[in-house]
């Protein structure tokens, strides 16, 4: 896998913990076991654009008042959505 930062090919898929601010700005949540890319060459650990979009869309589409302060990425993605998709995303 190629690192987006240093372009070295030693990057590997992994998981880590991230902290995300809710779309309404009322609080942050800790999301454990979030897919990430880890590069041993430059030391960067980051989420791909696809993972970031998944998290942001899901947080926009669920009832965030029911979220615990700490949850796993899988638990977040399993939460029932209030809308089928993000109708305010005009990027696609």
CA distance 35 to 18: 10
pTM surpassing 0.75? Answer: yes
Q: In 3-state terms, what secondary structure has residue 54? A: helix
- Point out which residues pair with 35 in neighbouring strands: 15
Task: Put residue 25 in one of left, alpha, beta given phi > 0 → left and psi -120 to 50 → alpha.
Answer: left
| Domain range summary for the chain, segments of one domain joined by + | 12-78
31 within 8 A of 73, measured Cβ to Cβ? yes
pLDDT of the chain along its 92 residues, tens only?
999 999 999 999 999 999 999 988 989 999 999 999 999 999 999 999 999 999 999 999 999 998 999 999 999 999 999 876 665 665 66
């Amino acid at each position: 896998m190629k690192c987006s930062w240093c372009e070295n090919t030693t990057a590997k898929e992994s998981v880590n913990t991230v902290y995300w601010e809710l779309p309404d700005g009322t609080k942050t949540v800790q999301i454990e076991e979030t897919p990430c890319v880890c590069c041993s060459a430059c030391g960067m650990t980051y989420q791909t654009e696809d993972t970031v979009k998944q998290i942001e869309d899901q947080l926009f589409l669920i009832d965030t008042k029911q979220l615990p302060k700490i949850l796993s990425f899988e638990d977040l993605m399993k939460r029932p959505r209030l809308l089928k998709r993000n109708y305010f995303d005009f990027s696609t």
